[in-house]
Structure 1
Amino acid sequence: MFFCIPLFNLAPPKDILIQNVKDGKVSGTEGQILVLICTAVGGKPPPEVKLTVSSVSVSVTGNQSIQYTNQQITRNFDRQIVTCTANHSGFSNVLKKTAMVYLNLKPLKPTFCQTSISTEETIPLTVSCTSEGSRPPASFQWYIGSTNVTAFAKDTSSHTQPSDTYTVHSTLAYHVNRSYNTKEVTCKVTNIADLIGTQDRKQLDVKYAPDITVNSPAYTQNDDTRTVTCNPSGNPNSYAYHKWQHRSKYGELIREFNGIKTLMLPDTQEVLRYQDSGEYICIASNGIKDNNTKLNRTGSGYLIVKAQPVFTSDTTDRVKQFGEIGRAVEIHVNVYSVPKFTSYIWDCDGKPITLKSAKYESSSTPTIVVDTIYGKEVQLDGYNVTLSIRDLEVEDFDNYTVTLKSGFADVRHTIILESASVPETPGNFSKTATSTSTITVQWDPNSGGGYKQTFYIQYRVQGLLEWKILIVGEEDINEPRRRRTYELRKLRERNVYELRMFAENTAMKRSNFTDVLIVFTDTAVSATSSAVIGPVVGVVVTLVIVCASFIVILLIKRSQGKDKKEKSMGDYEALGVQDKPSIYAEMKNQKEQKQLRKQQAGKKQFKKSNNPSENIEINTTQEPTEKVYENEVY
């Protein structure tokens, strides 16, 4: 009996392959598709193939060739081992291959190294961000608001060995100003695994010194309440206020007030409220330095108080003005007026003047005037109102009044027109001090005759004919009079000087001379003492020697015998009568000669010329020209 047994062609697999393996790694990118394929080479019937991935729940089986696809691979697959096996039921040998999944990893979200981002306007911003877990190293991008400032950042990376990833640290250094305040600072990281990138944001706090404006509304003299308000704008919004300053338009300080946000001006008489006009300066700080490293910031506003016109102090101090018969004259008044006066009229002793005639003409022009504002003399923008009078006659010297009209009460001011005259002789011309080479004198200016006057001092050594002359000061017609001093220098020691002075005005009219002042310059103390002490010591020594000799001779004579006493005493008396008178006569003669020379010198020192027409040589280039002024008012 025969049986038919079928024969099968059995063959084991020759090899097993993992596709896309290079250097034992299967490369991929986090977040993208990953395909793993295991294929058995040969084998009949088709061998069983199995694919597993370590540490993750992946296990795929099939015959001959299998595939695992992950549409969005996650980073937990990184560096996991892929194992592929192939075997045949008819054979005991199992084929096996492994490879590592190696991914390009996205950078993790960056974090700021600072809990808050803050800087000052004058200090560059420095801020840092760190991102970990990237492969390859990530790159940072920086933004402030919408402005890309990456070019001002520096990145550094470090390799983390256990995970084979990179930590990247980036620092931005950028100069910001107040316009960047409250904007968001963004640090963003990207690499080939994440081209869109991930980012973190924080709000920027830029501290800056305040800008200051001052709110200064317009007022009128009828407003009882007048305020100015300081408006600082800085960060932080907390301020220390310093003293307010009230200044003129030309910068002169008028007054100060305690620091406060809103300043209420002290009340005053209605007609004086115009003095509140001017620049008000607020000074404040918030503890932040400005670009000039200053803590205190200033701002100002100009306050205007509309009021009736005011005749300024440079006019009210000039009650009298001067002219000359036969000549034209201009009478001036200065006015501060905001708003400007609408019209003006002149009258002479109460009688209206017809302007634009052959005799009179008037005009007003803008000018800088001087007024006393709260006790301070300052410059203001005002007007000069002028009355021109032609061909002055005696009856023209009278009182002239100008009346200014405006939306407020009319105001008037009267000027007395007088005939110009010769300046008065300076008063109280006297000596105040002397030294070996200087003489200091003082005088009181008197009227300049309606014009600016100049003061002159003439001086000479007594006995000389030539006077030397010096210009020693000036006085304007509106200048307050005060006692003046002048020091003549580089004079001769132990000399007698004659001094006198006069005044001359710009009309070329000269006052009389003062009385002649006679002054001695001092003698040097050291030279005088030496000259006196030397001769005195010599005389004393001589007298001591003479007396000692006399006593010695006397003792010797007395020691001789009684028989010779009378003869010796007779000789001594003869000698005494003869010599003693000659010694004292010589001393008396010397004393009389010294007294005679002193009397002659005294007569010479006090000798002065009384001739008023004596010729004078003017010398304004003399060395003793330094002036010493005193503020004494008389």
Structure 2
Amino acid sequence: MSAVLKCQVDLNSKASWNGPDGNSGLVGYADGPDINPSLYNKGKLKIVGNIRHGEYNMEIRNVSEREDGLYTCYQINNQKMTVRETFVTLTVQYSPVIEINKTLSEHIIKFTCNPSGEPNHYSFDNWQHHSEFHEFIRSIKGSDDGTLTILRSNYNEIFNGNDGIYTCKASNGIADANGKLYQSGSIIFQNTVLPIFVNSNKAIEFGFYGRMIDLTVLVYNKFGSMQTDISKQNDTLNVQAKQENSSMNDLFQGVKVTVSGIKITFQLSLDTEDDFTSYYIKACNQKGCRPDPPEDVYVIPFITGIVVFWSQGFNGGFPQRFLLEYKTDTSIFWYTEVLMNDSFQLQEHYAINNLTPNTQYQVKIFSLNRVGRSKTTYSFFINTTDYELKCTNVYSYCVEILAILAGVMVMCLIISCIFCCIKRSKHCVVETSQEVRYDEIGTINFSNVPVDPTIHVSQENDIDNNDILSTSDSESSGERTFTGQTGDAYENPYQSIHNEGMEIHLYSSIISNNYENTIIFPDNPAKKLQKYFNITMNDIRNPWLIIYKKKQ
């Protein structure tokens, strides 16, 4: 497109043109018919018109916005001694050039489209969102003034689905050199957030017993170097991770796109059955880490409320908060309780009131920090009770009930320990040294020992049949002189034995073949032993060994 700046001059006048230099300054364009050779656009300029008819016009070919501005035509008439100026404003209409600015806040991203053209009245088309590999993701309608506002985070959960290339389209009604009315400008946006495990990761890997396996995960990371670790059953494994750049697939706004990320490989040995289990991989970058989910969660129900107890996990290096969500078992909507700041107690708690009695609820909890949110705990199913107790004060009802339950458990534990100790003391074996006395009983004449046939084994006082060992000199049990009644599946039920005809010796040396007819007790005074022989066998304490000799 060309423009002709017109200037009417008098005859016998000397004329010249001045104009913008393209940088907000003024410069001489022409002196008479000659063009200034130092101009940046000298090739586009030409003096046209018939000077004899007073036409001193300047043509500018291929006009651009740099030629836009105020031009002055000077003429000096030496005969008339006059100077005259003619001012011409060149307004260049051109399609806009677009620049995009972005503004970030905690929860939103704002893109502003700034077109620059003439005229300066613009219309805007929908914004276009593409991946870093120019794959189309979505079309977004912005505001009439050319701004686009999108959600950056929700409860401090930062999305990577907003990353990519954003394009603004605007028009002022002037087509460009190619005839296009709408001009476009683009900006690349990448969130500086913690690493994100992409959607294309495999949830299950298969390995062989006794072999090595390369456990691989794909991570989207756009902010500095990255550190990773892997744990199994809450125990961190000492395994070095291998990192390499890779392209991978992920879902951005529900669209499968290609992104650049990092492939992390852990080499594990599958030596035991315990190695075939779930593994937890954690990745952090310069932004920080997400917090770990709450631990040791349990819920206590009441008639119209519940109290949730938990212990804090690792906060990711930043202060953390907690969020409780709950719903009835039949509802599809989760109710969210207020955020709570970390009180740095060993155990946190929170009461939820105004619930429906005798109703099943699901409860879950997660933690937040400035980087993001933790994984959500498993949903806990709990029934509100149908007895009259309202948990309005955690430190009154709840703590008192917990204290009572703990006290009952402690008392049960103490009683169980006492009972076990008493029972063991009755059956304990006393080890004695060589200095222990032994009481020897001489030959027992079984013909002189009365046997009470009326005493049955069921009348015995906690005497185990294993406490008495009967032996004979290579004789069968059927030939033993000491026999009693048979019954109740016992070969020889226990009978009463009196101490008539027994000789008591406080101490005797025992040599080979002298063990016959001997009963061995722990060290006791003779008078105590005599007392035991004056009562029936039911009351005698368990001896170590009784040896009987067949009657000669």
By the TM > 0.5 criterion, same fold? no
Q: More strand per residue: 1 or 2?
A: 1
If the length of structure 2 is used for normalisation, what is the TM-score? 0.43
State which structure, 1 or 2, has the greater radius of gyration over its C-alpha atoms: 1
